[in-house]
Amino acid sequence: MEKRPYENIIVENEDGITWVTLNRPEKRNAMSPALHYEMDDALANLAVDSKTEVLVITGAGEAFSAGQDLKLYFRDTANNPAERRRSNEAAHSWFWERLTTFPKPTIAMVNGYCFGGGLTPVCACDFAIAAEDAVFGLSEINWGILPGGYVSWNVANVMSFRDAMHYAVTGETFDGRKAEELRFVTFSVPKDQLRQATVAYARKLMEKNPAAVRFTKEAIRTVRGLPAQQAVDYLRAKGEALKYFDPEGGREEGMRQFLDEKSYRPGLGPYHRKKP
């Protein structure tokens, strides 16, 4: 992706992994309208960036994100309906639509505080890896508001009913270890191992056939909302589409290596990829 003049985020690529860092550490990466516009632009471009094999979203400094910026996003736009609407659309675009439809695997690397609206990109990413001492909170109740946008819907889907109700109504915080126990994140690690663990996980994803990864993550998201019979029908069509979409011809290659060459066992690891 060409370098763009962002002030609120940093975009870097290292060996196929694109790191997008929310970069307002002095405000604990609270999300301002300007940050939303930059994230929306960045994700639109990264979705078609050939150097991006895995996307990681994280925060600079002590926080992943302290949620919506209470001054710049809420108070300063209170009497400016056009700006309120524009920034709201940009927010919903990047931290929900663009992330949930991103064509490559996405990882939220939660390095610290994660409050309110900051929970949405975590839920939207395919995977989430948290520092054990990261602090999560549905703090809305403490502001006298409810978890709006996609937050309530997301926690009610990702957590159990009991846990979603408890954390939303009490506003009690939970750390990265607890987030793993609640299955709110994929796993947690000590903070000094966070980046290394994220890179290792990203590399594991990069060993797989990218077309199969994309179709599989899309399938897992979609079937959750379908009745069984429709899911089977959808998966049949999706599976056929994958055969034509996959430039590596993974299905035939896997069959060849297993049945003819006898060089691989799928239960023990991926077939030997031949990149096109």
17/130 with CB nearer ligand ACO: 130
Alpha-carbon torsion, ordered 112, 117, 123, 126, to 10 deg:
-80
148/247 with CB nearer ligand ACO: 148
116/210 with CB nearer ligand ACO: 116
What phi, psi does 52 have (nearest 5°)? -90, 105
Q: Where are the beta strands (DSSP E) in 138-179?
A: 174-175
- Other Cβ atoms less than 10 A from the Cβ of 250: the count is 20
Q: Is 27 in the site for ligand ACO (CB under 6 A)?
A: yes
Q: Is 36 in the site for ligand ACO (CB under 6 A)?
A: no
Inter-residue contact 65 to 9 (CB < 8 Å)? no
- Residue-level length of the chain: 276
Q: Is 75 in the site for ligand ACO (CB under 6 A)?
A: no
Stretch that binds ligand ACO, among 52-60, 111-119, 156-164, 175-183 (CB under 6 A): 111-119
Structure tokens at 230: 């429709």
Q: What H or E segment, with its residue span, contains residue 56?
A: strand 54-59
Least Å from the CB of residue 70 to ligand ACO = 4
Q: Is 66 in the site for ligand ACO (CB under 6 A)?
A: yes
The one among 67, 121, 176, 250 contacting ligand ACO by CB under 6 A: 67
Inter-residue contact 18 to 46 (CB < 8 Å)? yes
Q: Is 117 in the site for ligand ACO (CB under 6 A)?
A: yes
What phi, psi does 55 have (nearest 5°)? -110, 130
Least Å from the CB of residue 90 to ligand ACO = 15
Least Å from the CB of residue 36 to ligand ACO = 12
The one among 116, 121, 210, 254 contacting ligand ACO by CB under 6 A: 116
As a whole number of Å, the CA-based R_g of the chain is 20
The one among 38, 53, 69, 126 contacting ligand ACO by CB under 6 A: 69
Q: How far apart are CA 269 and CA 276, in angstroms?
A: 20
Least Å from the CB of residue 208 to ligand ACO = 34
Q: Is 94 in the site for ligand ACO (CB under 6 A)?
A: no
- Other Cβ atoms less than 10 A from the Cβ of 153: the count is 15
- 187: three-class secondary structure by DSSP: strand
Q: How far is CA 13 from CA 19, 182, 203, 260, in A?
A: 6, 32, 14, 38
The one among 18, 28, 36, 106 contacting ligand ACO by CB under 6 A: 28
Least Å from the CB of residue 195 to ligand ACO = 21
Q: Is 154 in the site for ligand ACO (CB under 6 A)?
A: no
Q: Is 64 in the site for ligand ACO (CB under 6 A)?
A: no
Q: How far apart are CA 129 and CA 202, in angstroms?
A: 11
Give the residues lining the site for ligand ACO (CB under 6 A): 27-28, 30, 62-63, 66-71, 113, 115-117, 139-140, 143
